[in-house]
Amino acid sequence: MSENIHFPSGADGLLLNLNEEQRHAVTSKQVPLAIHAGAGSGKTRVLTHRIAWRIAMDIDDARKVLALTFTRKAAAELNHRLRGLGIRDQVAAGTFHAVAYAQLKNFWREKSLPEPELLTNKSVFVTKLLPRDYRSIKVLDVVGEIEWAKARRIGPQAYAGMAEENGRNIGIPSSLIGQIYQNYEDLKREQNKVDFDDLLVFCAKAIRSDRSFAAAQQWRFQHLYVDEFQDVNSVQVELLNAWLNGNENLCVVGDPNQAIYGWNGADADHLVRFGTYFPGGEIVDLKQNYRNTPQILRTATSILEDTTFKANRSSGSNPTITHFSSDKDELTSVAQRVRENRGPNGRWSDQAVLTRTNTQVEALARAFRDVEIPVRTLAGSSLFDRGDVKRVLSSFENNNQPLTELLGDLHAGFDEDEEYEIPARQQERFNAFSEIRLLAKEHLALDPTATADGFLSWIKSHIRTVTDISIDAVEIATFHSAKGLEWPTVHLVGLEEGFVPISYARDADSLAEEKRLLYVALSRAKENLFISWAGERSFGDKEPIGRDPSRWLEQIQEAINSLDKPLNKEGQIDQIRKARSGKTSNSASEHPVKTALLSWRSEHAQYASLQPYEVLSDAALEALIESWPITIEGMENIPGVTSHNIQRYGEELLSIFRQFDPPNIDSQIQRAVEGDSLLEGVEDQIISDLKVWRIEKAAGKPAFTIFNDKTLRDLAKKRPENLDELLSVYGIGPAKAKNFGQDLLKFFKK
């Protein structure tokens, strides 16, 4: 094992805090392996833990691991998590295009071939090829057709027939697009240019045709991992097979329910029928959801055929659907709701507003800026447009110095290892240079011999993937660009026919993809979900036109309406078991680590002039002890432990846990089972009676506004006899105690 790799508790320590499904996915020795990971099921956690566990077990060599992602941000996040799991050396991680480009640059250099220029803007190139009669057509639509064809390995001559067979229609005869496609390829060859799609094809061709080059790449990367495998196209699979060359050491992760790029050439069949493409492989399903509240999960999955996902978060508020009379009313009200949800001390970045189209994004961004709500969009300013960044990178052009010698030039003027507060006006500069340094390190992981000029060429391939670097702002994004992200609060706007589904989605496959896209959008919300649509909408300077609600809104509304209805007997039993499994056992709460944690909390509270519970609540401490985290990542889904807690106290808390041995889990489970069998009937009856009491108090309002189900369960467990005991119940503070305290105490006295 590499000396630069340190695991806190050995390989077994990496399996703590994983559920049974996740543990099986991490430790399965069957390869090839496909992991079907539902939204919020811990996909990235499982992928990183599998990589780290196999390295710890000496199954994989860290220096020969290649993790393929679809965005540079995902690659950076993967490496960040691996470092948190003890891997000190940077595992090679990047997009298919970035890895292919790095390998091709080596190939061209070794063969003394002239390096083609990377075409980073197809639109300018294609515009010149459009007949004058069609200049009014959106160039991006033509570019999209060329990209779709190349992703499916359809040449210019075959385009027209395949386009008609697949129902492709952008308002230009398919035969003409085929001719433009041919002219585009010819012009690239004449000018020695390549586009992003060519990188994949040329890399696979180089590996297939040059044995020495192939041997070098296949020796360099022997353990391959692919994220978001439902989004791969046939060209990417061809390149993947070239890299593997019969090697079965492959693990892919994806979710068929999030296959939303079929229009762009992606084919989820590679994941759905994994065993057909990679014989002998195993498929593992992850069905436990850790992102969404039960209410949001049931709402999101109501439009899917597969509804077997299980929520592991505590109960929350029901999603809402609001009908506005016009798009102007919708914009005004959503902006107001965003402001109210933030409150005086919240973060703008805890909220996102999601829409189906880019045009809606632009309108929302303008409306929010008009009322001084900071926004961030994927169309935001690129860090490569900054003058200070441009000046540094311009010195890399035609510079053959090793990139490792020039990393020092990529600083913003601050020492990144020093702990001090960076002035707000300098924060974006700091973020920009940190981003560039991260890119440099990623490139060196792919090509340790990289030069400054080579890095500059490679970095241009990432320009379109880097977004606005504002510090704290509401994210406004399309459903597509929100994939892979999550926020505590999400506002879905414009859920109308013509948008959801989009007007040009007419065949069964397109409509199915639109439904999956809506599922992706719904499942981005962790705690609060607001849905809206407008009865009329203006497009440009035209008169407003009437709009109908999305065909799927009725189905979603039915799911929301059913949330407050009693579960059937099987559902009640499942809920009771789930609640019971979350209880902290006596052995855990009596563990000596609790004394250490209470002492630590008191010291922090005294230093900051706070009450101890304001540092970390009792419930959060109990949940920490039960979960027994060994990494920062392991704290992310612990009830009551916020991202602020983790950022501020995470390392200190881990250092406390490392001083003790975990409690005996087997004895905890045994005691829990014995105790539960005695209390089952009593607690069930109390919860049932409390729900009746809650409905009476709600007087027509949503029941959860009185107390949520988690509070009812804690009430049934503790059965308070006085005000002090009542205030120890989860979710009951002074205000709730004042409004309902006497009634509750009378209830329990009965």
What value, to the nearest 5°, has the Cα angle with vertex 11 and ends 10 and 17?
Answer: 100
Same domain (yes/no): 232, 302: no
**CB-based contact 271:252 (threshold 8 Å):** yes
Residues 359 and 379: beta-carbon distance below 8 Å: no
Whether 55 is covered by a domain: the verdict is yes
pLDDT digits (tens, 9 = 90+) for 541-553: 788 899 999 999 9
* 551/637 same-domain check: no
Find the range with the poorest average confidence among 40-54, 371-385, 726-740. 371-385
Domain identity same for 344 and 479: yes
Domain shared by 359 and 479, yes or no: yes
Mean pLDDT of 248-272: 92
Tell me the one-letter amino acid at 40: G
547 shares its domain with 686 = no
Q: How confident is the model at residue 578 (pLDDT cuts 50, 70, 90)?
A: very low
Instruction: Compute the average pLDDT of residues 710-716.
Output: 82
In a domain, 587, yes or no: no
pLDDT tens digits, 76-86: 889 888 988 88
Determine, yes or no, domain membership for 201: no
Q: What is the pLDDT of residues 595-620, one digit of tens each?
A: 888 888 888 877 776 767 678 877 77
Report phi then psi at 32, rounded to 5.
-65, 155
- Pair of tokens at residue 502: 């989009």
Are residues 53 and 301 in contact, defined by beta-carbon separation less than 8 angstroms?
no
Assign 338 a pLDDT band (cuts: 50, 70, 90): very high
Q: Which residue has the higher pLDDT, 264 or 90?
A: 264
Average pLDDT on 645-669 reads 74
The predicted pLDDT at position 595 comes to 84
End of a domain among 168, 194, 220? 194
Token pair belonging to 51: 């990589």
The CA–CA distances, whole Å, from 124 to 119, 128, 190, 651 equal 10, 7, 16, 50
pLDDT at 667: 42
> Residue 361 corresponds to which tokens in the numbers above?
């994004």
Query: How confident is the model at residue 104, as a pLDDT?
Result: 96
Q: Looking at 14-23, 406-415, 463-472, which range is the least confident one?
A: 463-472
| CA 278/CA 280 separation, integer angstroms | 7
- Among 228, 261, 286, the domain-final residue is 286
| 501 and 557 fall within a common domain | yes
- 532 shares a domain with 561: yes
Per-residue confidence (pLDDT) for residue 435, from 0 to 100 = 65
Lowest mean pLDDT among 180-194, 550-564, 612-626: 612-626
Note down the domain range covering 392. Answer: 383-456
Domain boundary among 456, 484, 502: 456
**Total structural domains in the chain?**
6
pLDDT higher than threshold 80 for residue 134: no
In angstroms, rounded to a whole number, what is the distance separating the alpha carbons of residues 411 and 392? 10
Q: What is the pLDDT of residues 424-471, one digit of tens each?
A: 445 555 656 666 776 777 677 767 777 887 787 776 655 544 444 446
**Pair 697, 742 in one domain:** yes
Instruction: Supply the pLDDT for residue 685.
Output: 72
Domain presence at residue 205:
no
| CB burial readout 704-718, b (16+ within 10 A) else e | bebbbbbbbbbbbbe
Task: Record the pTM.
Answer: 0.65
Strand partners, 118: 194
User: pLDDT per residue over 734-745, tens digit each?
Assistant: 778 888 888 888
What is the DSSP code string of 609-629? T--HHHHS-HHHHHHHHHH--
Residues 148 and 125 in one domain: yes
We report the CATH number of the domain holding residue 601 as: 1.10.150.80
Classify residue 577: in a domain, yes or no: no
C-alpha distances (whole Å) from 304 to each of 33, 316, 354, 529, 552 are 25, 22, 20, 18, 11
At which residue do the structure tokens 């005086």 appear?
344
Dist CA 730 CA 728 (whole Å): 7
Mean pLDDT of 10-25: 87
CA distances from 239 to 202, 214, 236, 447 (A): 9, 12, 5, 18
- Backbone φ and ψ for 375, nearest 5 degrees, come out as -130, 155
In a domain, 606, yes or no: yes
211-220 and 234-244 are packed helices; what angle lies between their axes, rounded to 10 degrees? Answer: 90
What 3-state DSSP class applies to 357? Answer: coil
Q: Does residue 53 sit in helix, strand or coil? A: helix
pLDDT of residue 6: 46
Nearest to 741 by CA among 724, 619, 714: 724
Evaluate whether residue 114 is within a structural domain. Answer: no
pLDDT at 488: 95
pLDDT at residue 414, as a whole number = 43
Token couple for 744: 């509750």
Contact yes or no for 559/299 (Cβ under 8 A): yes
Residue 265 and residue 301 in one domain: no
My answer on whether 684 and 742 are in the same domain is: yes
Q: 157 in helix, strand or coil? A: helix
Q: How many CB atoms lie within 10 A of CB 748?
A: 16
- Residue 568's pLDDT band (boundaries 50, 70, 90)? very low
Whether 555 is covered by a domain: the verdict is yes
Instruction: Give Cα separations from 423 to 389, 429, 431 (angstroms).
Output: 19, 10, 12
Residue 315 and residue 418 in one domain = no
Chain Cα centroid distance, residue 744: 41
Q: What is the CATH number of the domain that holds 369?
A: 3.40.50.300
